[in-house]
Structure 1
Amino acid sequence: MLFVHVTLILLASGLVNGQYFGSNDGTSANQVIHFPSIDQSRRPGQCDGVVYMKMTPHQRMYVQYEQFATNVSQLNEISTCFWMMVDNPLRPATMLNYALDEEVNTDNITLQYRGSESLWTLDINGQNVYRSKARRLQARMWSHFCHSWSGETGEWSVWQSGQLVESGINQQSRGWKIPAGGVLVTGQHQNTIVNNMGMDNGEGLEGSVTLMSVSDKHLSTDPTSRRYVDQVSKDCSPRARGEIADWLNTPRLGYGGVRSSRAQPVCGNF
């Protein structure tokens, strides 16, 4: 890595630098896009007894991101859920990136929000799985998302505020496997770290992220998955699937001086 500023983020509370760190082409018939009402009445969940952090990168000088200290096995499906907030709704944000080689970055997993295009995109092994219409985020407002893909069926799904936004089947992605042994990060695209001399290339998150979980289980559109996504969007996700990475239990490495601070224990008002 290019950066000498590296912080190990552990679950046990401690002081580090004066801050507390804590514990498609997808061709098939898509479902009708449904955006949850922006003023939908939702009682915020209280996170009583749960201490957790939020990452707040700014990308103004060197790239800022966090790496999950986890061993990734070969995968044929994946899902991730998280809360995010952006400073500029038009700026792209790489929410999840996994690669075997940070210099080449094969885009084994790249999940991006592209605000200027009103899109969410997912690439697996350098190939696009979906380009899903997104409602443009509001600046400084928290939103909950889940994304999922299965290499067995080609099925994918995008969720916002606990509700299914869009799903489909990418036939070409059937049989794809994500290789083991790479590096999993949130907040940046890894090829920027080396190929752009450590300077942001316009793809890094500027805002905040918290309670990200990464699972080796696909979220289908069946009632069980719907109930699960609805639940984790309303509480602080203590039951969120995190076989690959769990925000509350998986250590993270912070790069570029990224700031991590204690989150408020109210979902949607972190």
Structure 2
Amino acid sequence: MLVLLAAALLLLPDTSSPAAGQEAGLTRLVCTSIPLDADPTCPVPAMPIQGGTAQEQDLRATLVQLRETILQQKEAMSSQKEAIKELTSKLTRCEGVALGESAQLQAKFKGGRRKQHGGKDTMGDLPRAHSQVVDHLGRTIQALKDRLASLEQQTRANPSNQAIPSDLREQLQRKLGDLESQLLNKVSELEDEKFVLLNETAAHRYKTESALNALHERVTELEKESNGFKSPDDFKVSLPLRTNYLYARIKKSLPELYAFTVCMWIRSTALSSVGTPFSYAVSGQANEIVLIEWGNNPIELLINDKVAQLPMNINDGKWHHICITWTTRDGMWEAYQNGHLRGSGENLAPWHPIKAGGALILGQEQDTVGGRFDATQAFVGELSHFNIWDRILTSEDIRSMANCSANLAGNIVPWIDNNVDVFGGATKLPLETCQERLVSS
């Protein structure tokens, strides 16, 4: 602008010369210095449009154009200053928001880790907070970039506007670059911490599952060691004392029977009578089936409270294999000891079917269904392989079990571990081999 003004002054004719002053209608352009805080625009005196040379008219038009250009530049600079102030304020607030939300996110993340170590998994909250902060910062930075680009585009589109000063542009770009770097660093830190936390959670889960599996295996081993049974029937029930509270109970109940065979391995350690190896009681009849030896009486078989004496002797502290058969037809019965028939008879509760749904007890005689035991009638010793069939076994089958050539399971009551419960101090113990029992018989 100053260059144009100087050129205009040089083109003006010298009015101080007499020749120039004699020309009519000429005016003089005078510029006066003003204070710094005053209006910088020079007042242009009103000039007549008509009159003067063509050169003077061109100068006047140039001055008017310069004045308009100065006013436009002033307005543009004022608008640009306001935009720059607003943009700087936005950047400052963005930095504050970024720092505040970063601190909040770190607090949430640490709190989430503390909750996870306390027993609750908060991994689901962390990704949402992380995504929200990243999205917010990304949108803010992008908006600032768009605003700055728009401002520069407007400046380039208007040739009369001055460009944004280079130092201010560099400052804005540095701030945007710093914000982008902070955002990328924060995202990287959050991803690293999230990865570490996921690894710690997976490792903790793996350790917990390994510990549980090891504990389960150990419990299984201890159960096997405590049982010590090679097979489900390889055990015996020990009743070491003559009391009214040591006994074992067969879980499976009997159906209605018209014949049966009862076999068992038995070893009595009592000094006097054997007691009651087993008893079966039903509602209304406590002596539905009972095998007992007490007082000075021999071993007796009771069916429906009817009695038959069995010619067997097993009170010697040795293992014996005994079998008893009975049928409701004529009440016929047979007694086997160690595979040999020791006695038989008939008319033992003939035509009386064995009632179903009673309680089958090993080691005690029942006065009521499942209770009222008498210590004087208790069995003392060991029992094993107590089996019941709903038919009469042949003598060959009985002999094969007694000499250890066969091991038959009852089709009504089989001798298996999970079918026998012990009470009052009675125990389940590993059983000697059949050959060892045979040698001791």
TM-score by length of 2: 0.45
Q: CA deviation at 1:186?
A: 1.4
CA contact 2:250–2:421 (8 Å) conserved in 1: yes
Report if aligned partners of 2:242, 2:375 keep a CA contact under 8 Å in 1: no
Please state if 1:77 is matched with 2:234: no
Alignment counterpart, residue 427 of structure 2, candidates 249, 259, 263: 259
Matches within 5 A, 1:1-270: 15=223, 19-20=226-227, 22=229, 52-101=234-283, 106-114=286-294, 116-117=296-297, 119-128=298-307, 130-135=308-313, 137-139=315-317, 141-170=318-347, 173-191=349-367, 194-195=371-372, 200-219=374-393, 225-235=394-404, 237-240=406-409, 242-248=410-416, 251-269=419-437
The higher radius of gyration belongs to: 2
Distance (Å, rounded) in 1 between the aligned partners of 2:222 and 2:295: 36
Contact 2:269 2:315 in 1 (8 A): no
1:29-51 alpha-carbon deviations (Å, 9 max, x no partner): xxxxxxxxxxxxxxxxxxxx786
Give SS of 2:411's match.
coil
Which structure 2 residue ranges, 5 or more long, are not aligned? 1-219
After superposition, what is the alpha-carbon deviation per residue over 1:191-245, rounded to whole angstroms, capped at 9, x for unaligned?
287435xxx42111111011111111124xxxxx1211110101275224x1221
Asked if the contact 2:237/2:429 (under 8 Å) is kept, the reply is: yes
RMSD: 2.9
C-alpha separation in 2, matches of 1:216 and 1:246: 12
Q: CA deviation at 1:98?
A: 0.9
The 8 Å contact of residues 244 and 364 in structure 2, kept in 1 or not, is answered as no
Once the two structures are superposed, residues 107-155 of structure 1 have per-residue CA deviations (whole angstroms, 9 ceiling, x without a partner) of 11111234843x2211112222x1122235312x111100111102321
C-alpha distance in structure 2 between counterparts of 1:51 and 1:148, whole Å: 22
2:304, 2:349 within 8 Å by CA — same for their partners in 1?
no
Q: What secondary structure is seen at the aligned counterpart in 2 of 1:63?
A: coil
* Partner SS, residue 379 of structure 2: coil
- Which structure ranks higher in relative contact order (CA pairs < 8 Å, sequence separation ≥ 6)? 1
Give 1 or 2: higher strand fraction: 1
CA offset digits 1:127-185 (Å, max 9, x no partner): 22x1122235312x111100111102321000011010011111x62211111111112
Q: Partners of 1:195 and 1:51 in 2: how far apart? A: 29
- Unpaired runs of 5+ residues, structure 1, are 1-11, 24-48, 220-224
Structure 1 residues 100 and 73, CA gap change in structure 2 (3 angstroms): same
Q: Which of the pair is proportionally richer in helix?
A: 2
Q: Supply the AA of the counterpart residue of 1:217.
A: R
- CA 1:52/1:13 → structure 2, altered by over 3 Å: closer, same or farther? farther
**TM-score scaled to structure 1, two decimals?**
0.71
Q: List structure 1 runs of 4+ shifted beyond 3 angstroms.
A: 12-16, 59-62, 113-117, 192-196
Fraction of identical pairs, as percent: 21
Quickly say closer, same or farther: Cα 1:114–1:166, change in 2 above 3 A: farther
Is contact 1:98–1:184 with CA below 8 Å preserved after alignment? yes
